[in-house]
Each structure stands twice: as C-alpha cells, then as structure tokens.
Amino acid sequence: MDDMNGLLDLSINRYINKAQRQSRTFILNDTKKLGRPRTFDENEALMAAMNAFWTKGYAATSMKDLTAAMKISGPSIYAAFGDKRELYLKTIDRYADVDGCAPIVAFEGAASIEDAVRGFLTSVVSHSTQQEGAPRGCFLASCVATTVGEVEGVAERMEKAIQETDTRLAARFEKEKSHGNLPKDFPSQDRARLLHDMRQGHVHRSRAGWTAERLLDDLEDRVRMVLMI
C-alpha cells in the first residue's frame, strides 16, 4: 500500500512539474508575441517622421532617414506605424488634426467675425514661419500635395482636408448671418474658399522666405476683402 501511495505521489508531482513547465513556456511565448513595451512618445515620433518627409519629400525619404529622425529602430517603426506608406499617412492625419486645424480653431473661437478672419490669417502666418524644427510653409501644401496620385490614400486625405476646411469656415459665416452680423446675402461658401486660398498664398510666400512681418503687412486689407459686401 505504501508503494502504491509513493507511485501515486510521484505521478502527481510529475504532472504538476509538467504543467508548470508548460505554463512557463506559454508565458514566455506570449511575452514574445506581445513584444517589449514602447519606450518612445508616439506623437513625438510622428512629428519627427513628418519633418523628415517634409524636408526630403516622400520618395527621397528612406527608412534609414526615418529611423535616424525618429530615434527608434526599423522593427519598432513597423510594429507601431506599419510600413513607410502607412507611416506617411499617419503623419498626414496627425498634421491635419493638430497643426492644420489651428487656424480654424482660432477662426471659430474669436469673439467677432473681424477678429475671426484676423486670427485665422495670423495663425496661418505663425504656423508657416515660426514652427520650431519644421520646414517653413504647410506640410499638406508643400509636401503631401505633390504625392497625390503617387501614394495610395493621399488624394482622399487631401480632398477631406479641403472640404472640411471650407465647411468649417463657411459655418462661421453662416452663424454670423443668423445673428445679424453679416448680410443675409453674404456669400459664405465663396468667402470661405477665398479665405482658404489666402491661406495657401501665405504658405507659398513663407516657403519663399517671406517673414511674418511682411506677410502680415496687409492684414487689415485682407480682412476687409473677405468681409466686403
């Protein structure tokens, strides 16, 4: 009887040891699948990638350029952002959501429509000439627009950015009309496109080296032009 109990205890111990080894193996394999925790700031990495694309252009920017700019390894870039095209599209989305929206936020938040137009153009100039560590101008106009038709997914993002900007600008004009601050026949959509086009003109001139002071020299004339009846 003692021998039987001893054999039973031995079998149980072997089963437990085997289960423990299998459990450890599963944990190790699962850890490998999960990978190491990210040790970089995703937003900062996207900004660095955007500046690399902006400086050299999409086609001329290599993975070596991106790893150097982002200060992370190639495998980490693929794990976090996908391949070069996917990373490029993510930088476009990030710019459109943050920097590209700053002038619109200023436009929507101003107390009066005059201050709204003034704030929009001032914000455009500021972002075109004073962004630390970034090329002058606008990422969408200076870089992204040149890859429409060449990089899948870019055309849709450019069209979305244009339509959303025009819509949000026109909505503020319509709001002012409803409050009696603009005439009922004020052409909101046309003036929204005009203001958007002024933005692109400022961007173009900033790329040519114009200073903020020079760009804002005729600011009041532009405000009156947008709001003229």
Q: If you write DSSP's letter for every residue of 77-117 in order, what string do you get? A: HHHHH-SHHHHHHHHHHHHHHTTTTHHHHHHHH-SSHHHHH
Share of the chain above pLDDT 90, in %: 69
The model's pTM? 0.74
- Residue 207 makes CB contacts below 8 A (sequence gap 6+) with 128, 135, 136, 137, 142
- Report pLDDT for 4: 43
pLDDT tens readout for residues 187-219: 999 999 999 999 999 999 998 999 999 999 999
Phi and psi at residue 98, to the nearest 5° = -115, -80
pLDDT reading at 18 higher than 70: no
Residue 170's alpha-carbon distances to 30, 114, 155, 163, 180, in angstroms, are: 52, 14, 23, 11, 15
pLDDT tens readout for residues 41-71: 999 999 999 999 999 999 999 999 999 999 9
Q: How many other CB atoms are there within 10 angstroms of residue 70's CB atom?
A: 23
- Report pLDDT for 133: 63
